[in-house]
């Protein structure tokens, strides 16, 4: 889907920059494609709310029939408020507080994805107080490399996430002695922005091995949850606005050995919402640096922290220049008092001037949700286009 520069400029005429611009048509098309691809294998997809919590976005996703994957009590409440059904809410997170566990218990959610022995014991105690049986899944650390940025790698033994292989016997003992929890499944999540899909093949092979251990120990599991992490094409969002969901699900169909009647669940965030969002910003100044020219924008790392935090690439387009060739280089930087406040170095753009509008692409996932008000900045508005 090509960037419609005129539509963006129309919005700029009525809204203060910077703002997030969400394309609801692209979102709907993405949801439809994902839904169709998952249906082929009867797979269940939970949307990972952490990627984008905007209400209109959540309403559309819940209306499309997705479940929810939450990492806080507030996300659980938000999911319910925006129409996700309680029995399709998975609750993950390595540090759930007692209050948050109680929110999950009160709402009879699908599952608590448990990450440590102590957490299982606490959930059991809290469920007992309420006279309930908490459905749990064990989040297993499979020690599989996702080949992505180290800050968003989660499935290696060195990471804080999940239960390691050497703890299985102890965990099972704890579960057998806990009368207010019921083990329903196994959960995995190896990382985010995964574009080397062979990592998922490795995950499937690991899940098969782990599942065999449970079968040998006569432990039946109703579901396997392989998490999310499917990456998008940040380099060519116009050519690949929607990821290859079919190819992604086919890997699991080909390599994962499910038990009879066992359900397979996914928790996709970025792949559903990243490309539908752009961060629209105005160039405040052009400044000639020693080695480069700076285009200084009114958006900063406060609106999109990904480049500063993960050295992430986001394509940048000059919306004000319609058909001019990009033959100038700029470091596109924000106004925040940090040198890491840089959206891109040596970005090729047409001749760019004060007042030009830039679109920082694929900001729909982990943009608005990670915004902060450092330097006492205002929260950027969200604007929608169809
Ligand atoms: N499930 C679990 C247990 C997770 O921890 C995550 C993301 C997801 C699902 C969804 O992953 P996705 O499909 O969106 O990749 N702020 C970082 C990404 C952090 C992801 C954290 N966990 C970024 O901007 O790249």
| 206 alpha-carbon distance from chain centroid | 23
Average of pLDDT values for 117-136? 97
Average of pLDDT values for 291-319? 97
Average of pLDDT values for 271-294? 95
User: So where are the chain's domains?
Assistant: 24-273, 275-385
Q: How far does residue 16's CA lie from ligand 1's centre (Å)?
A: 30
How far apart are alpha carbons 308 and 232 in whole angstroms? 19
* The token pair that represents 113 in the structure block: 């994805």
Average of pLDDT values for 368-385? 97
How far apart are alpha carbons 273 and 60 in whole angstroms? 11
How far apart are alpha carbons 261 and 223 in whole angstroms? 9
Q: Sorting pLDDT into bands at 50, 70 and 90, what band is 20? A: very high
* The token pair that represents 228 in the structure block: 């999310």
CB count within 10 Å of CB 79 equals: 28
Mutation choice for ligand 1 from 57, 71, 192, CB with most ligand atoms inside 8 A: 192
Task: Give strand pairing partners of 280.
Answer: 19, 359
Q: How far does residue 54's CA lie from ligand 1's centre (Å)?
A: 16
**Residue having the nearest C-alpha atom to atom 1 of ligand 1:** 227
Q: What share of the chain is helix, strand, coil (3-state, %, to 5)?
A: 35, 25, 40
Closest approach atom of ligand 1 to CA 228:
13
SS3 of 189, please?
Answer: coil
Q: What is the pLDDT of residue 156?
A: 65
**Residue having the nearest C-alpha atom to atom 7 of ligand 1:** 192
Closest approach atom of ligand 1 to CA 365:
24
**Residue having the nearest C-alpha atom to atom 20 of ligand 1:** 192
Q: Maximum Cα–Cα distance for the chain, whole Å?
A: 70
Q: How far does residue 23's CA lie from ligand 1's centre (Å)?
A: 21
Sign of CA pseudo-dihedral 231, 232, 233, 234: negative
Task: Give strand pairing partners of 316.
Answer: 360
Q: How far does residue 264's CA lie from ligand 1's centre (Å)?
A: 18
CA neighbor of 223 nearest in space, from 323, 87, 366, 55: 87
Q: How far does residue 193's CA lie from ligand 1's centre (Å)?
A: 8
Q: How far does residue 255's CA lie from ligand 1's centre (Å)?
A: 23
How far apart are alpha carbons 96 and 49 in whole angstroms? 16
Task: Give strand pairing partners of 285.
Answer: 296
CA neighbor of 104 nearest in space, from 83, 61, 133, 82: 133
b/e per residue, 149-164, with b = 16+ CB within 10 A?
Answer: eeebbbbbeeeebbbe
**Which protein residues are within 6 Å of ligand 1, measured from CB?**
48, 50-51, 69, 92, 152, 154, 189, 192-193, 227-230, 267-271, 306, 310, 366
Task: Give strand pairing partners of 329.
Answer: 348
Cα-based distances in Å from 318 to 6, 8, 208, 331, 363: 12, 11, 48, 13, 16
Task: Tell me whether strands 328-333 and 342-349 are parallel, antiparallel or unpaired.
Answer: antiparallel
Q: Is pLDDT at 155 greater than 70 in this prediction?
A: no
The CATH code that applies to domain 275-385 is 2.40.37.10
Q: Is pLDDT at 365 greater than 70 in this prediction?
A: yes
Q: How far does residue 269's CA lie from ligand 1's centre (Å)?
A: 6
Q: What is the pLDDT of residue 152?
A: 65
CA dihedral 7, 8, 10, 13 (to 10 degrees): 180
Q: How far does residue 335's CA lie from ligand 1's centre (Å)?
A: 28
- pTM summary value: 0.97
CA neighbor of 84 nearest in space, from 103, 100, 68, 102: 68
Half-sphere exposure of 182 (CA within 13 A, CB side): 14
* 186-214 confidence digits (pLDDT tens): 999 999 999 999 999 999 999 999 999 99
Q: Which residue bears the tokens 């890491």? A: 340
**Residue having the nearest C-alpha atom to atom 19 of ligand 1:** 152
Closest approach atom of ligand 1 to CA 269:
14
Mutation choice for ligand 1 from 195, 245, 267, CB with most ligand atoms inside 8 A: 267
Closest approach atom of ligand 1 to CA 305:
24
* 203-244 confidence digits (pLDDT tens): 999 999 999 999 999 999 999 999 999 999 999 999 999 999
Length of the chain: 386
Q: How far does residue 366's CA lie from ligand 1's centre (Å)?
A: 9
User: Which of the four CATH numbers 3.20.20.450, 3.90.79.10, 3.20.20.10, 3.40.50.150 does domain 24-273 have?
Assistant: 3.20.20.10
Closest approach atom of ligand 1 to CA 193:
15
Q: How far does residue 15's CA lie from ligand 1's centre (Å)?
A: 30
How far apart are alpha carbons 241 and 223 in whole angstroms? 31
């Amino acid at each position: 889907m090509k960037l419609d520069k005129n539509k963006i400029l129309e919005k700029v005429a009525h809204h203060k920059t910077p703002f997030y611009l969400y394309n609801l048509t692209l979102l709907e098309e993405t949801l439809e494609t994902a839904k169709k691809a998952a249906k082929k294998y009867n797979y269940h997809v939970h949307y990972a709310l952490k990627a984008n919590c905007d209400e209109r976005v959540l309403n559309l996703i819940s209306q499309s029939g997705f479940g929810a994957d939450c990492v806080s009590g507030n996300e659980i409440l938000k999911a319910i408020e925006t129409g996700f059904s309680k029995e399709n809410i998975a609750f993950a997170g390595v540090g759930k507080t007692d209050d948050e566990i109680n929110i999950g218990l009160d709402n009879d959610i699908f599952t608590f994805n448990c990450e440590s022995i102590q957490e299982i014991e606490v959930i059991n105690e809290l469920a007992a107080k309420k006279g309930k049986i908490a459905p749990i899944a064990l989040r297993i650390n499979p020690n599989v490399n996702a080949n992505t940025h180290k800050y968003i790698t989660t499935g290696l033994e060195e990471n804080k996430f999940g239960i390691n292989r050497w703890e299985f016997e102890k965990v099972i003992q704890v579960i057998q002695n806990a009368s207010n929890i019921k083990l329903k499944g196994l959960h995995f999540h190896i990382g985010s922005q995964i574009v080397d899909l062979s990592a998922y093949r490795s995950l499937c092979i690991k899940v098969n091995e782990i599942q065999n251990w449970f079968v040998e120990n006569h432990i039946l599991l109703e579901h396997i949850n392989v998490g999310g992490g499917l990456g998008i094409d940040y380099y060519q969002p116009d050519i690949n606005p929607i990821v290859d969901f079919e190819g992604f699900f086919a890997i699991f169909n080909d390599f994962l050995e499910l038990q009879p009647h066992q359900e397979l669940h996914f928790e996709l965030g970025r792949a559903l919402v990243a490309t539908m969002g752009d961060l629209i910003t105005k160039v405040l100044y052009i400044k000639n640096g020693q080695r480069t020219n700076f285009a200084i924008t009114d958006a900063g790392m406060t609106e999109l922290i990904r480049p500063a935090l993960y050295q992430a690439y986001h394509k940048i387009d000059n919306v004000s220049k319609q058909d001019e060739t990009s033959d100038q280089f700029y470091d596109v930087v924000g106004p925040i008092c940090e040198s890491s406040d840089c959206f891109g170095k040596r970005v090729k753009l047409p001749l760019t001037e004060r007042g030009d509008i830039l679109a920082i692409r694929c900001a729909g996932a982990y943009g608005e949700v990670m915004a902060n008000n450092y330097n006492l900045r205002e929260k950027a508005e969200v604007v929608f286009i169809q």
